[in-house]
């Protein structure tokens, strides 16, 4: 069967694409190339340049390549931008998803995997966040992901699709330097950017109720994110009856503090990572760590990569894009 990857040229999409191709799956990519990871797609992988808002482009991809399943990554993902531009985020993330789902139903496609986020949880006050934890997103980005899960699930029930939503925690690292994330929106690349500029890393709040006073998060290597998608896609492929309805966390189930990440970055890069302490940011919970039990039970999946591997591969990717960082 053939899988369509919407947003398959982006950071996470390219890693999933790489592993699907290595596993012998046939794939086609629909992407507007606004956040492409860089480099060419693997040989033999068709690319349709277009938006998920363009129904004709989605229809053509499904029809011309006899697509039997969809992995939907295409979305905008900057939290701060979502607060400033809610109309844009709801249009790109929700209307785009609706357009794809309508095309999927009309084409008779029966398998759909949705790229979601731990942002759906908001500020969970628990040691480990299970999939049954209350969802209370704190920004339009998280809202669009939660509403997207609802839409995917409702369409699945109404039209007999097998569906899965995967909630990512803090994604980091790269399988190859050219596939690294070009954005500077998360902790590790933000630290790299300041170190490269000769500035101290900035830590927002060192007085949280955690062992070292800094926030604790669950960091997950993007290669592990990709292997979870391959496992989920195989589960959907094995269910032609359209009865699968899964919502799963992707995390390691281990918390790492911001200070601990800085220590690893110092070890990997050789830079002094003594931080500049800034006030807390509004809305930052002290601890957000996934429970990874359900995905292991349902898919037999477990994360394989540790924090040092994430940082080292992210650093190689950063230096690939910023050669001056090694100076």
* Contact (CB, 8 A) for 29 and 1: no
Long-range contacts, 85-91 (Cβ 8 Å, 24+)? 86/140, 89/140, 89/141, 89/144, 90/140, 90/143, 90/144, 91/53
- Number of Cβ atoms within 10 Å of the Cβ of 126: 13
CA distances, 293 to each of 7, 234, 290, 320 (Å) = 28, 19, 9, 36
Angstrom distance (rounded) from CA 251 to CA 288: 11
Q: Which of 11, 121, 141, 168 is catalytic?
A: 141
Helical pair 187-196 and 258-269, crossing angle rounded to 10 deg = 50
- Return all residues near 303 (Cβ < 8 A) that are at least 6 apart: 220, 221, 224, 250, 251, 252, 253, 292
Closest Cα to residue 107, out of 232, 246, 253, 4? 4
Pairing of strands 26-31, 111-117: unpaired
- Is residue 208 annotated as part of the catalytic site, yes or no? no
Angstrom distance (rounded) from CA 49 to CA 163: 25
Catalytic residue annotation:
141
């Amino acid at each position: 069967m053939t899988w369509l990857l919407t947003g398959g040229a982006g950071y996470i999409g390219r890693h999933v694409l790489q592993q699907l191709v290595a596993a012998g799956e046939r794939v086609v990519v629909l992407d507007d190339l606004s956040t492409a990871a860089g480099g060419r797609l693997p040989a033999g992988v068709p690319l349709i340049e277009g938006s998920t808002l363009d129904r004709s482009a989605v229809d053509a991809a499904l029809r011309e390549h006899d697509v039997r399943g969809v992995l939907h990554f295409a979305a905008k993902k900057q939290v701060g931008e979502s607060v400033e531009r809610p109309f844009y985020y709801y249009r790109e993330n929700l209307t785009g998803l609706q357009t794809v789902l309508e095309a999927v139903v009309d084409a008779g496609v029966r398998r759909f995997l949705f790229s979601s986020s731990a942002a759906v949880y908001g500020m969970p006050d628990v040691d480990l966040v299970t999939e049954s934890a209350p969802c209370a997103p704190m920004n339009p980005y998280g809202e669009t992901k939660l509403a997207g899960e609802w839409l995917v699930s409702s369409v699945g029930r109404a039209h007999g699709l097998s569906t899965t939503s995967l909630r990512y925690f803090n994604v980091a690292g790269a399988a190859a330097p050219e596939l690294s994330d070009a954005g500077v929106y998360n902790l590790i690349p933000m630290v790299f950017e300041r170190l490269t500029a000769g500035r101290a890393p900035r830590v927002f709040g060192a007085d949280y109720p955690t062992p070292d006073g800094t926030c604790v998060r669950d960091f997950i290597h993007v290669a592990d994110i990709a292997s979870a998608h391959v496992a989920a896609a195989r589960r959907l492929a094995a269910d032609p009856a359209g009865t699968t309805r899964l919502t799963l966390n992707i995390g390691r189930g281990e918390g790492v503090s911001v200070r601990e990440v800085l220590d690893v970055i110092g070890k990997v890069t050789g830079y002094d990572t003594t931080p500049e302490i800034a006030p807390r940011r509004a809305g930052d919970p002290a601890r957000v760590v996934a429970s990874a039990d359900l995905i292991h039970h349902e898919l037999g999946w477990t994360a394989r990569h540790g924090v040092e591997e994430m940082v080292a591969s992210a650093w190689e990717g950063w230096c690939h894009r910023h050669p001056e960082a090694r100076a």
